[in-house]
Amino acid sequence: MLSRKLTVSYGAGAIGNGVFVTVPGLLLLFYMTNILGIGAGLASAALFVPKLWDAFANPLMGGISDRSTSRYGKRRPFMLVGGIGTSLGFVLLFTAPKMSSEVATALYVTTVFTIAMTFYAVFCVPWSAMPPEMTDDYHERTRLTSVRMVLLTVGILVGGALAPTIAGQQDDGSGGTRSGYALMSVVVAVILGAAFLTAWWGTREARSTAPLEGPRPTLRQQYDTVRANKPFVTLFLGYNLQAMATAAMLTGAQYVAVYVLGDSKKSTLLFVFLVAPCAVMVPLWRRFSATRGKLLGYVLATAIFGVAATSLVFARQEPEGLIYVQMVLLGVGYAGGQLFPYAILPDLITEDGSEEAAARAGIFTGVWQGGETIAFAVGPALYGLILAVSGYASSTPGHFKAHQSDGATLGLVLGFSLLPGFLTLVSLPFLNRYKAIDDELSNKVLV
């Protein structure tokens, strides 16, 4: 059985994971359109390019870590380098200098975000590949994942609540200033570094498999290996539709706070009501999975999230208090949507029970992280497209809260509600196709 110290130390990396994914997802598009003055279409494109690169960097990093022969372990040295690099890159991302043109500013953000995402892959892929090696027990992996997801909740709360508050502390409710975002970047970078280094240091005694021998496979060979695992592919597709939905909501929260709720600081409340239920629901979902199975819990959580997201289409007309109730329901589904796929993933990687299967976990987690990265790029890109089509007006120098037409306001609400609701509900058929393998794995545990 994994010790509590090891479990918590490993899970600490999820705090950094939650912060790094949440803050750019929540603030970066808004920072580009309303602080830097970049048009919505160009800003969306600038955010997509780094994520596209990262889809290749993640599998590449997985193959490298599977075959690393460092005397400090095959995963952990990368975690150290990646953790430090990600923290530094984050500061540069939100301290963009004043440049001569809108295009030049967009290129700066694209370049720095690409560098930061690369360092994040260097940390996250080896870190995510550790659970299949750390334990062989079906339920122990769920326990490890539940601790990870509770700490992920902490990271999301820190990122979603603290970052917008610091960034907007000097503003009038319109979303922040350059100096506010610069201060926020330094504070968040310190949190990132502390979380990543805790995971690196605290897992020094974790069990690990021997490095794979032979030449490192090409990306094509890695994808062929992954495609041969049909249950993995099915879960991968379903989960990433949900990741697109989550990313779209993260992006839209700041816009809804400013233009529907009337104050950018209320994005903090939206986040608290979304994420806080996870602290309660993750242990409850874990208990549910012990008696009813991981898949049923995952399907139920997905349905709750999809319906709750869709119901927010009426946000402009309904009382503000009701919006927060809907966010709590979203949080109930969100907790299960985070716990179950990551609890199932190690089971799929080691389905044949061999040590070699665990040793090549980097290939699968690299592809998984790459897919998630693309999903977290597509979600904001779709949201940005809706803003562009609906006529959203970006800021002008000295005017950070541009007036929006009724059509633009409707568009930012639709991107926050119907878009994520549709993507989430469409993922349900993929989870249904996964049922056979989940039943088989559960039966193996009960025998």
CATH number of the domain where residue 163 is located: 1.20.1250.20
Whole-number Cα distances in Å, 440 to 17, 178, 209, 301, 317: 31, 54, 25, 21, 47
Regions of the chain with pLDDT less than 70: 138, 169-176, 209-210, 212-216, 219, 350-360, 395-401, 434-447
Place of tokens 């970066």: 28
Distance CA 256, CA 345 (A): 34
Distance CA 446, CA 197 (A): 38
pLDDT for 107: 95
How far from the centroid of its chain's Cα atoms is residue 358's Cα? 24
Alpha helices in 1-136 (DSSP H): 4-23, 29-30, 40-66, 76-93, 102-128, 131-134
Best CA proximity match to 123, nearest among 160, 88, 164: 88
| Helices 178-202, 4-23: crossing angle, 10 deg rounding | 160
302 in Cβ contact with 337 (< 8 Å): yes
162 in Cβ contact with 15 (< 8 Å): no
Q: Which two tokens stand for residue 399?
A: 């005017």
Alpha helices in 317-417 (DSSP H): 320-349, 355-359, 361-390, 406-416
Distance CA 415, CA 242 (A): 14
How far from the centroid of its chain's Cα atoms is residue 201's Cα? 23
pLDDT for 94: 96
Place of tokens 């070699």: 356
Q: Residue 368, CB half-sphere, CA atoms under 13 Å: how many?
A: 27
Distance CA 196, CA 57 (A): 19
The one-letter amino acid code at 149 reads M
Distance CA 242, CA 231 (A): 17
Terminal Cα-to-Cα distance of the chain (whole angstroms) = 20
The one-letter amino acid code at 37 reads G
133 in Cβ contact with 361 (< 8 Å): yes
pLDDT for 447: 39
What one-character DSSP code corresponds to residue 314?
Answer: G
Distance CA 3, CA 68 (A): 26
Q: For the beta carbon of residue 42, count every other beta carbon within 10 angstroms.
A: 18
Expressed as residue numbers, the domain containing 371 is 4-206+215-446
What one-character DSSP code corresponds to residue 34?
Answer: I
Place of tokens 């000295």: 398
pLDDT for 446: 40
Q: How many domains does the chain have?
A: 1
Best CA proximity match to 188, nearest among 160, 168, 222, 224: 160
What one-character DSSP code corresponds to residue 265?
Answer: T
123 in Cβ contact with 337 (< 8 Å): no
Distance CA 107, CA 121 (A): 21
Distance CA 197, CA 199 (A): 5
13 in Cβ contact with 198 (< 8 Å): yes
Q: For the beta carbon of residue 419, count every other beta carbon within 10 angstroms.
A: 23
Name the helix (H) or strand (E) containing 281: helix 266-292
| Coil, strand or helix at 229 | coil
